[in-house]
Structure 1
Amino acid sequence: MGVPGQLLRFGVVGICAMAVHYVVVTSLLRFVAVPGRPAVLHANVLGFLCAFPVSYLGHRHATFAATGVPHHLAMRRFFATAVLGFLVNEGLLALLVTATRLDYRAALVIVLGTVAALTFVLARCWAFAAGQAP
């Protein structure tokens, strides 16, 4: 599968996962927690955990289905990729909501888009890359 096809599929799966992440965070802050900087970061953890299965399963079965990497290996690698992405996500989100006047929703969109690019490269070149040693 070529890069353009993968990018398209990656984008569709990523938008679905990002929507889950965004809805979880904004719903928690609207209906459960008092909006504030620490609450945003805590809600972001739950958003990540809810979006991860959507992301992994979508990428496993749509974006990188043809690679043939065994599930157990792809899952471990993609989880490591996702955790790294989340750490970048959380750090950048913390920076944006504490050091700027951006609304947390705008900051979250910026962060999720930035981390998506990192995730694609790591997923394509490592997590779902066939022919590499575990």
Structure 2
Amino acid sequence: MKLLEFKRILRFTAVGLSAAAIHYVSVVILVETLSTAPLLANIAGFLISFWMSYFGHRFWTFGDHASINNNSFLRFLATASLGFAMNELLFYLMLTYTSIPYTIALAIAVVTVAISTYFLSRLWAFRSQRTLHS
């Protein structure tokens, strides 16, 4: 593995863990303090953490890429939305068909989706301009 790719994975992990923590804490606060339904709180948690994730990945994780273009945001939005749809589906299935507490189900859903989100971000959302046009 090249050093640059290793650094990118570490940065992705740091940004992803930060965004996941914001997402997770937001959900727990909404559920525990406002009695928001967990699935609805999950949507709010995603929306809250989305911006931290986008700017962290855009300027730090993939900032060394020639990926600074107008389409990066739209591709990241599509990537994040797909990841969130998978997260919400998995969360729903665990809440509906298991007795797992929502806090554990949410953690499982967030971690499960993180790997696919990295590859979608790396290979498509923040793909370099050179690669896109070749």
Question: Equivalent residue for 1:31?
Answer: 33
Q: 2:72 aligns with which of 68, 71, 74?
A: 74
CA distance in 2, matches of 1:94, 1:59: 27
**What amino acid does structure 1 have at the position aligned with 2:35?**
A
2:7 to 5, 8, 14: 5
SS at the partner of 1:55? helix
In the alignment, structure 1 segments of 5+ residues that lack a partner are none
Question: 1:124 aligns to what?
Answer: 122
The Cα shift of 1:51 comes to 0.4
Q: Which amino acid aligns with 1:19?
A: A
Q: Which residue of 2 aligns with 1:41?
A: 39
* Cα deviations by residue, 1:43-76 (Å, 9 ceiling, x for unpaired): 0000000000010000011110111222421111
Describe the superposition over 1:56-111 as per-residue Cα deviations: whole angstroms up to 9, x where unpaired.
Answer: 00001111011122242111100000000000000000001111111110011111
Q: Find the residue that maps to 2:100 and give its secondary structure.
A: coil
Give the aligned length: 129
Tell me how large the CA RMSD over aligned residues is.
Answer: 1.2
Unaligned runs of 5+ in 2: none
Match of 1:91 among 89, 94, 102: 89
1:2 Cα deviation from its structure 2 partner: 2.4
Q: Which runs of 4+ in 1 moved over 2 A?
A: none
What TM-score does the superposition give when structure 2 sets the normalisation length? 0.92
- What amino acid maps onto 1:40 in structure 2? P
TM-score w.r.t. the length of structure 1 is 0.92
The letter of the residue matching 1:25 is V
Q: 1:100 aligns with which of 93, 98, 101?
A: 98
